[in-house]
Amino acid sequence: MTDEALAFPTARHDHAACIAEALDRAERLCAERGERLTTLRRQVLELVWSGHAPQGAYDLLEQLGQARGRVAPPTVYRALEFLQAQGLIHRIESLNAFIGCPIPEERHSGQFFICRLCGLAAELDVGAIDRAIDREATRLGFTIERRTVELQGLCRACREAQA
Amino acid sequence: MTDEALAFPTARHDHAACIAEALDRAERLCAERGERLTTLRRQVLELVWSGHAPQGAYDLLEQLGQARGRVAPPTVYRALEFLQAQGLIHRIESLNAFIGCPIPEERHSGQFFICRLCGLAAELDVGAIDRAIDREATRLGFTIERRTVELQGLCRACREAQA
DNA sequence: TCGGTCATGTTATAAAATAACATTTGCGCC
DNA sequence: GGCGCAAATGTTATTTTATAACATGACCGA
Ligand SMILES: [Zn+2]
Ligand SMILES: [Zn+2]
Ligand SMILES: [Zn+2]
Ligand SMILES: [Zn+2]
pLDDT at res. B11: 80
Which amino acid does the sequence have at A108? H
How much is the average pLDDT of A66-87? 96
- Residue B3 confidence (pLDDT) above 50: no
d(C-alpha B123, C-alpha B131), whole Å:
17
Task: Collect all residues with Cβ–Cβ distance below 8 Å to B163 and sequence separation of at least 6.
Answer: none
CATH number reported for the structural domain that contains residue B75 in this entry:
1.10.10.10
User: How many interchain CB pairs under 8 A, A with B?
Assistant: 133
pLDDT at res. A5: 59
When computed from its CA atoms, the radius of gyration of chain B, rounded to whole angstroms, is 17
Contact A88, A101 (CB under 8 A): yes
Strand D closer than 7 A to residue A56 Cβ: yes
Residue A159, chain B, CB below 8 Å: the answer is: yes
- The closest nt to B40, taking CA to C1', is D9
How much is the average pLDDT of A72-88? 98
pLDDT digits (tens, 9 = 90+) for A91-141: 999 999 999 999 999 999 999 999 999 999 999 999 999 999 999 999 999
Residue A96, chain B, CB below 8 Å: the answer is: no
Alpha carbon A53 to its chain centroid, in Å, reads: 9
Q: Using alpha carbons only, what angle is made at residue B72 by residues B70 and B75, rounded to the nearest 5 degrees? A: 115
Contact B100, B61 (CB under 8 A): no
Domain, as residue range, for A153? 3-162
pLDDT band (50, 70, 90) for residue A3? very low
Strand C closer than 7 A to residue A73 Cβ: yes
Flag residues 82-121 of B with CB < 7 Å from strand C.
96
- Total of domains in chain A: 1
- Partner residues linked to A98 by β-bridges: A55, A91
pLDDT digits (tens, 9 = 90+) for B92-127: 999 999 999 999 999 999 999 999 999 999 999 999
Q: How many residues does chain B have?
A: 163
- Residue A11 confidence (pLDDT) above 90: no
User: Using a CB-CB distance cutoff of 8 angstroms, which residues of chain B are in contact with residue A135?
Assistant: 128
d(C-alpha A115, C-alpha B127), whole Å:
23
Residue A127, chain B, CB below 8 Å: the answer is: no
Pick left, alpha or beta for residue A107 (phi over 0 → left; psi -120 to 50 → alpha; otherwise beta): beta
Task: Calculate the average pLDDT of chain B.
Answer: 94
pLDDT band (50, 70, 90) for residue B5? low
d(C-alpha B113, C-alpha B154), whole Å:
9
d(C-alpha B25, C-alpha B9), whole Å:
19
